[in-house]
Amino acid sequence: MKSRINITTAYYFPFGAMIFGGGLLFLGLVLILDFRPWGWLGLLLIWAGFTTFTARYRLTINLVKQTYHDYLWISGFKQGEKKHFDAITGMYINENPYTQAVNSRVSTMTKYGIEYNGYIRFNDEDVHLLSDDSKSKVMGKMKKIQQVLQGNIVSSTSIQINSEIDDYTKAESE
C-alpha cells in the first residue's frame, strides 16, 4: 500500500509546443557540441526545451497525513498550496457545452461540442482531474484513479471514499 498517490492531471503545454521543445533541446545540444562560442545559447535552449517537457499539473494525495497538493510542476519545482482533508467525499463527471469560432480570411466556422470534466471532491472542495470530448475516455481514466485510491486507503486513518463515480451528464456513455 502506498501512503502517497501522485496523479498527473494535465500537461501545461499542448502537444505541438512539446514537439517544438524537443527541437529546442536538439538545437541546444548542437550549439553546445559544435559551436563553442554559442554554448551559453545552447544551455538556454536546453533549459527552455526541458521546461516545456516537464511542465504539468499534478495532484498528490497523502493518505497518512490526510493532505492533498494541487500544483503546477516545472522541472521539479512545485507551485501550489497543500490542504488538509477529512474525507474524499466523491468523484464525479459533468458536461460543459462549448462553442469555438474558427476564423479565416474568407469565412468563419463555428464548432459546437460538449467537453466532459472529471473532478474529485475533498470535504467540500472540488479539484479538477481531467477533461476530454469523449465521455468514455474520461470515465475510464476516472475509474483507474478510483481503483488506485480504493486500493491504497490506509486502514489506520479515518479517510472515507465514496465508492461510486457520480455522472452528472445527460447522455449515457458513448
What pLDDT does 71 receive?
92
How far apart are the C-alpha atoms of 40 and 5, rounded to whole Å?
38
pLDDT digits (tens, 9 = 90+) for 44-77: 999 999 889 889 999 998 888 889 999 999 888 8
Alpha carbon distance, N-terminus to C-terminus of the chain: 34
pLDDT digits (tens, 9 = 90+) for 69-102: 999 998 888 899 899 988 888 888 988 898 989 8
Q: Answer with the one of 50, 84, 118 that is the final residue of a domain.
A: 84
Beta bridge partners of 39: none
Residue type, 60: T
Cell of 58: 499534478
pLDDT digits (tens, 9 = 90+) for 126-161: 899 888 888 899 888 888 888 877 765 544 445 556
Give yes or no: residues 90 and 171 share one domain. Answer: yes
- Tell me how many domains the chain contains: 2
Give yes or no: residues 46 and 63 share one domain. Answer: yes
What pLDDT does 154 receive?
47
Give yes or no: residues 159 and 171 share one domain. Answer: yes
How far apart are the C-alpha atoms of 141 and 66, rounded to whole Å?
23
Q: Which domain holds residue 38?
A: 1-84
pTM metric for this prediction: 0.71
DSSP element (H, E) containing 115: strand 108-122
Cell of 114: 460538449
